[in-house]
């Protein structure tokens, strides 16, 4: 069933993105007076065809749905001479500015789609974890900044001055810290607790590129807090079972330190192999026992870590964190502004990341292919409409950025030709275009191979 959901979500995502991208080319070509011969979703043998009696455009759905194209009237591609009356409608006869606009319209359409999707998500509201920080692991950036756990981050600002940007949720906090870490700069977080609002200086100048990944916040010591750490299950014969832990127990503290986050709890247990630790546990009971805790002493068993080969402590309990969430909702105009801002930030981040992969500052493991996209499409679809729309917006931005890269074969390569033509007054020769096209095709094949390898590596964990 999960595979079916992933395939269906992937098909919907690719279908929507391709249609929007190609329709951008199509609509601007029509506005510029260029005749469009075919609008195809997919490649290969046509499965469905329809010719518009008004425009003469052939609309096609082909057998291989991974992509699409818009074929315009062009003397360079015509198999037969074009009638003189049709020549003004040929793509190659258009002014360079019109050709530039037609080619750029595809990626621009992807960015417009992303803005619209984000605006819908912001306007309809989404439930997200609150920006409450759990007790950080010692010596992490969060701990060095002064966080003890339980603080709610409400703002972030530049230490050199400027207004504070509000932090509304955990994902909002993550995104703002990600941008600061990528730029290697310092920020000041404003957070409130029972004592009031305080400032926490956070130095992100030395964050390694390898740490800017899915576990970025964990590397910094930031985990969602303020919730409940629940024992979801206990393994038979484990230290947890021998100590008397049971599914449903709420873990309140460990050796006298409050705990509300699984990552910090596990990290503490790992360093106490063979050493007794004391857990304060709250259990369901009658009304008279509500709020009371029970002390449970457990000795973590020493086991070999498969990743590091070191001996670590484990108690054999499955944990679940129930964090408080908030409903984030904005007005129509603010949603549109936030959608545009988020789209710009993500596009800029994608360009910087790709540039750093080229220079070797960031790992090529950040590239993802169709397998990973399908996986995330299925996961986001199962989480609900807001998550799927956000995922669709993210992929739409990635598609727009990818197509704007100055690589021949892609839209960005053609745009580069037109910029050269506009600057020199001469079109790039067919000979040079052929040479560059082959080089561009080699780049695309190499990138695709790396992305597919990364997909397989994530799938089979090698």
**Residues classed as catalytic:** 22
> Can you point out the beta strands (E) in 167-243?
186-193, 196-203, 228-234
Half-sphere exposure of 233 (CA within 13 A, CB side): 3
Note the Cα 10 to chain centre separation in Å.
15
Cα 208 from chain centroid (whole Å): 19
**Using CA atoms, how far apart are residues 47 and 64, in angstroms rounded to an integer?**
10
Which residue from 441, 434, 357, 369 is spatially nearest to 407, judged by alpha carbons?
441
Q: In this structure, are residues 430 and 348 in contact, taking their beta carbons and an 8 Å threshold? A: no
Neighbours of 327 (CB within 10 A): 9
Cβ(110)–Cβ(400) under 8 Å? yes
Separation CA 346–CA 327 (nearest Å): 23
Taken as a whole, the chain contains a residue count of 462
| Tokens found for residue 432 | 């040079």
Instruction: Say whether 33 sits in a helix, a strand or coil.
Output: coil
Q: Which long-range contacts (CB under 8 A, 24 or more apart) does 284-290 make?
A: 284/248
Rounded Cα gap, residues 54 and 32, in angstroms: 17
CA–CA distance, 196 with 170 (Å, rounded to integer): 20
List CB contacts of 196: < 8 A, sequence separation 6 or more.
none
239 in Cβ contact with 271 (< 8 Å): no
User: Do the strands 317-322 and 228-234 form a parallel or antiparallel pair, or are they unpaired?
Assistant: antiparallel
List C-alpha distances in Å: 292 to 149, 196, 248, 258, 404: 22, 28, 15, 15, 61
Give yes or no for a contact between 163 and 128, defined as CB atoms under 8 angstroms apart: no
Q: In this structure, how many other beta carbons lie within 10 angstroms of the beta carbon of residue 54?
A: 6
């Amino acid at each position: 069933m999960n595979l079916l959901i992933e395939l269906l979500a992937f098909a919907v995502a690719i279908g929507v993105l391709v249609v929007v991208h190609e329709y951008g080319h199509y609509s601007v070509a029509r506005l510029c007076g260029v005749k469009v011969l075919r609008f195809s979703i997919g490649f290969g043998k046509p499965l469905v065809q329809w010719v518009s009696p008004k425009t003469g455009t052939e609309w096609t759905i082909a057998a291989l749905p991974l992509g699409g194209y818009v074929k315009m009237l062009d003397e360079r591609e015509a198999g037969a001479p074009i009638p003189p009356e049709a020549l003004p409608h040929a793509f190659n006869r258009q002014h360079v500015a019109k050709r530039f606009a037609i080619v750029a319209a595809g990626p621009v359409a992807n960015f417009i789609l992303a803005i619209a999707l984000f605006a819908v998500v912001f306007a309809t509201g989404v439930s997200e974890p609150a920006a409450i920080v759990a007790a950080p692991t010692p010596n992490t950036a969060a701990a060095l900044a002064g966080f003890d756990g339980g603080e709610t981050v409400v703002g972030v600002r530049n230490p050199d001055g400027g207004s504070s940007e509000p932090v509304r949720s955990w994902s909002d906090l993550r995104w703002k810290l990600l941008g600061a870490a990528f730029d290697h700069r310092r920020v000041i977080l404003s957070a409130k607790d029972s004592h009031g609002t305080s400032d926490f200086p956070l130095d992100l100048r030395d964050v390694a590129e390898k740490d800017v990944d899915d576990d970025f916040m964990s590397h910094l010591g930031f985990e969602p807090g303020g919730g409940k750490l629940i024992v979801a299950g206990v393994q038979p014969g484990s230290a947890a079972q021998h100590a008397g832990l049971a599914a449903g127990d709420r873990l309140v503290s460990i050796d006298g330190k409050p705990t509300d986050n699984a990552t910090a709890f596990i990290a503490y247990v790992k360093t106490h192999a063979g050493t007794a630790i004391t857990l304060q546990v709250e259990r369901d009971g009658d009304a008279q026992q509500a709020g009371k805790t029970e002390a449970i002493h457990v000795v973590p068993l020493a086991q070999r870590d498969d990743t590091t080969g070191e001996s670590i402590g484990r108690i054999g309990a499955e944990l679940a964190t129930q964090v408080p969430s908030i409903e984030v909702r904005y007005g129509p105009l603010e949603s549109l502004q936030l959608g545009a801002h988020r789209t710009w930030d993500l596009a800029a981040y994608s360009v910087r990341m790709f540039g750093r992969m080229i220079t070797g500052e960031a790992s090529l493991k950040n590239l993802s292919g169709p397998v990973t996209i399908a996986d995330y499409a299925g996961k986001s679809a199962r989480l609900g409409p807001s998550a799927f729309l956000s995922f669709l917006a993210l992929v739409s931005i990635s598609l727009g950025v990818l197509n704007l890269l100055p690589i021949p074969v892609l839209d960005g390569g053609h745009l580069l030709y037109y910029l050269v033509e506009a600057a020199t007054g001469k079109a790039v020769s067919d000979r040079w275009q052929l040479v560059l096209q082959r080089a561009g095709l080699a780049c695309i094949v190499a990138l695709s191979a790396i992305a597919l390898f990364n997909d397989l590596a994530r799938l089979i964990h090698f």
